[in-house]
Amino acid sequence: MKKRFNPIKDKSSEIINYLMASPDMPDDEALRFKLRLSIEEVVENVVRYAYDGGIGWLEVSTQLDNDSLVLTVELRDAGVPFNPLEQPDPDTTLAAEEREVGGLGIYLCKQLMDSISYRYENGNNVLTMTKMIWK
């Protein structure tokens, strides 16, 4: 399932709901919760930071590999090149008020998903997340 949203300004909820409505999504509520949190984080980051003023496009897709039961969620945009995986993980041993601002969302994604990768390809940011799905 694939769709391009253009422009993306004020469309976070629509994009997230589109992905969560994919027939590739599992029925298991615990898995859906983890997937939704991760999807919300990455979509919000693209909508807020990829383009000046949110005027740009975001292509999202899901794909389920039925043989290995792996769900892949991919986001592609032509915004400012940015690899969120290069950001240091927050020190979660510190109290919230002692931590630096930012980085907690992508850290959460790393904990909830089985893999996350980033590449810059043909002028596009491409973020790919995978999660093993047990039926």
The structure tokens 């790919």 sit at 128
Residue 45 near residue 105, CB atoms below 8 Å: yes
Q: With the CA atoms of 80, 100, 92 and 106 taken in that order, what torsion angle do they form, in degrees rounded to the nearest 10?
A: -10
Confidence of residue 50 (pLDDT cuts 50, 70, 90): very high
Least confident of 17-21, 38-42, 62-66, 91-95: 91-95
pLDDT over 90 (residue 101): no
The CATH number of whichever domain residue 90 belongs to comes to 3.30.565.10
Q: What is the Cα–Cα distance from 73 to 1, expressed in whole angstroms?
A: 10
Q: What is the Cα–Cα distance from 75 to 89, expressed in whole angstroms?
A: 21
Q: Which pLDDT does position 97 carry in this prediction?
A: 66
pLDDT over 80 (residue 3): yes
How many domains does the chain divide into?
Answer: 1
pLDDT over 80 (residue 134): no
pTM, whole model, 2 decimals?
A: 0.89
Q: What is the Cα–Cα distance from 54 to 32, expressed in whole angstroms?
A: 27
Percent with pLDDT over 90 in the chain: 76
* Structural domain for 78, as ranges: 2-132
3-state secondary structure of 78: coil
Confidence of residue 99 (pLDDT cuts 50, 70, 90): low
